[in-house]
Amino acid sequence: MINFTVGPVQMDDETRNLGSNQIPYFRTSEFSTLMKENEALLCKFMDAPDSSRVIFLTGSGTASMEGGVMNFFTPEDKVLVVNGGSFGHRLVELCQIHDIPYTEIKLDVGTQLTEEHLKCYENQNYTGFLIQLCETSTGILYDMNLVGKFCKENGLFLFVDAVSGFMADELSMKKMHINAVITGSQKALALPPSMSFTVMDQVAINRCKQINVRNLYFNYPDYLLNGERGQTPFTPAVGTLIQLNEKLKRIDSSGGIINQNRIAKERAEYFRTQIEGLPLKMFMSNKDSSNCVTALMPTKPGVNAHKVFEIIKDEYGIWICPNAGEMAEKVFRVGHIGSIKKEEIDTLISVFKELVKREIL
């Protein structure tokens, strides 16, 4: 199997080997030390300001989306939510469920967020801003410098869902004025699904302590308190955290996050050059695309994108990523995160070419 989805993605051999070990008991000083290292390295890779902290939540990326909405906002807030696809829509749903007053900036799918979209919300007493770094359903990479500047100038708390974008795309909490940012284990970190992580600056730490949400499992102040001694309130996905530690250290000793960004960029560019000439159109323009994923539309009339996904899966053992909802039959995606070799991209390209010959694509 070759896996070009956007998560779970192909794991490195080092990660897989660790996965065969027994899971140790975790209320130990050894595990606390490992967790402290995890915290420091995640802060480093997110370019977090000094005194930032990390919440290690057992649950997929959505758990940390929900945890963030619950711990950083209340019905006293008034937030802006960017909705440019299914993950933006999820942020909107979370604001609805948790009674957070919000205004939705709904983008036509495939269009970039611009200064024009934000202008009318200046000096309007908004208190928060929620957005993805990469909206994985379309592959758009938002201009986080623009968003960060807007939030700083208007005093908005900036919460960023970088579940798919972290490591693939440039991300700096300091430069982009991000207060809290989340990522997940099964995306570019290429670990098993099970955990998600929130890096928070001092403003975010103070905010969640002040709010002190009435919830047992999602109580961030409780996580912060336990985290002071390198622990979590409840049993975490211990195995994933051990794999995370090995992965973060390996990144650190091999050129750091800059090198990861570079690898992702080169891989995405290689794929995008190789598809030139095929009857596939990139859903986003190159300059608005994340390095995490490429969304593609078959251009030949009558070609069904979901059918292409199924044929490639069933007949060639390769998984590309189907889209859900309205775009299901028009768009499929090819992910560039996880352990993907150049030869595997070449294999996928030759399958596309064969499908063209077979008049399926």
Ligand X SMILES: *Cc1c(COP(=O)(O)O)cnc(C)c1O
Binding site for ligand X (CB under 6 A): 7, 60-62, 65, 87, 132, 136, 161, 163-164, 184, 187
Q: Which two tokens stand for residue 78?
A: 């008034």
Give the CB-nearest residue to ligand X: 61
CB of 132 or CB of 179, closer to ligand X: 132
Task: Report the nearest approach of ligand X to the CB of residue 240 (Å).
Answer: 13
What's the CA gap between 48 and 109, in Å, rounded?
31
Task: Report the nearest approach of ligand X to the CB of residue 163 (Å).
Answer: 4
In this structure, the dihedral spanned by the alpha carbons of residues 243, 244, 250 and 253, taken in order and rounded to 10 degrees, is: -150
Nearest to 283 by CA among 90, 135, 167: 135
Task: Report the nearest approach of ligand X to the CB of residue 306 (Å).
Answer: 19
Task: Report the nearest approach of ligand X to the CB of residue 287 (Å).
Answer: 20
CB of 137 or CB of 179, closer to ligand X: 137
Q: For the chain, what is the radius of gyration of the CA atoms?
A: 20
CB of 141 or CB of 351, closer to ligand X: 141
CB of 193 or CB of 221, closer to ligand X: 193
Q: Which two tokens stand for residue 116?
A: 């024009």
CB of 84 or CB of 230, closer to ligand X: 84
Per the CB < 8 A criterion, the answer to whether 195 and 242 are in contact is: no
Task: Report the nearest approach of ligand X to the CB of residue 245 (Å).
Answer: 20
| DSSP-derived secondary structure letter, 143 | -
Nearest to 108 by CA among 96, 121, 117, 118: 117
Per the CB < 8 A criterion, the answer to whether 184 and 195 are in contact is: yes
